Amino acid sequence: MAALGSPLRTFRGLLRELRHASGRAGRPYRHTPAYRHIVAAFRAHRVTSEKLCRAQQELHFQAATYLCLLRSVREHMALHQEYHGKGERSPEEVAGLVGFRLPHQPGGKG
């Protein structure tokens, strides 16, 4: 299993992805149920001097997995918007996309 890194780094990454997701909705990310749930879960599973919480590793793994999902979805949407097909294209435009030029016909026909 790969190293998860710091729980604080994962927590900050989740909040960053929430900011990206809520930026499109136009409402502050701190007022979303997802933000409240993430903060409450991290607070409930923190290690204190009185107890060692075995569920912290499980929470950290789940949080890192969810962070990977959020990042992947955001990056997928960005790639999809950039490279999504724009419908039917002319032969000249397609040739230009791949770096070719169509031959010019003598007599003004092309």
Residue 15 maps to a domain: yes
Instruction: Read off the pLDDT band of 92 (50, 70, 90).
Output: confident
The reply to whether 100 falls in a domain is no
Residues 10/46, Cβ–Cβ less than 8 Å:
no
Whole-number pLDDT of residue 74 = 93
Total domains present in the chain? 1
Tens digit of each residue's pLDDT (9 = 90 or more) over 37-69? 999 988 887 766 656 656 667 888 899 999 999
Chain-wide mean pLDDT for the chain? 82
85 belongs to a structural domain: no
Residue 77 domain flag: no
User: What is the extent of the structural domain holding 52?
Assistant: 7-71
Residue 104 lies in a domain: no
- Judged by average pLDDT, the poorest of 8-12, 50-54, 76-80 is 50-54
At residue 10, the pLDDT reads 92
Query: What pLDDT does residue 102 have?
Result: 84
Question: CB burial class (10 A; 0-12, 13-18, 19+) of residue 10?
Answer: buried
Q: What local confidence, expressed as pLDDT, does residue 22 receive?
A: 81
pLDDT at 107 over 80: no
Q: Is residue 109 included in any domain, yes or no?
A: no
Residue 23 domain-assigned? yes
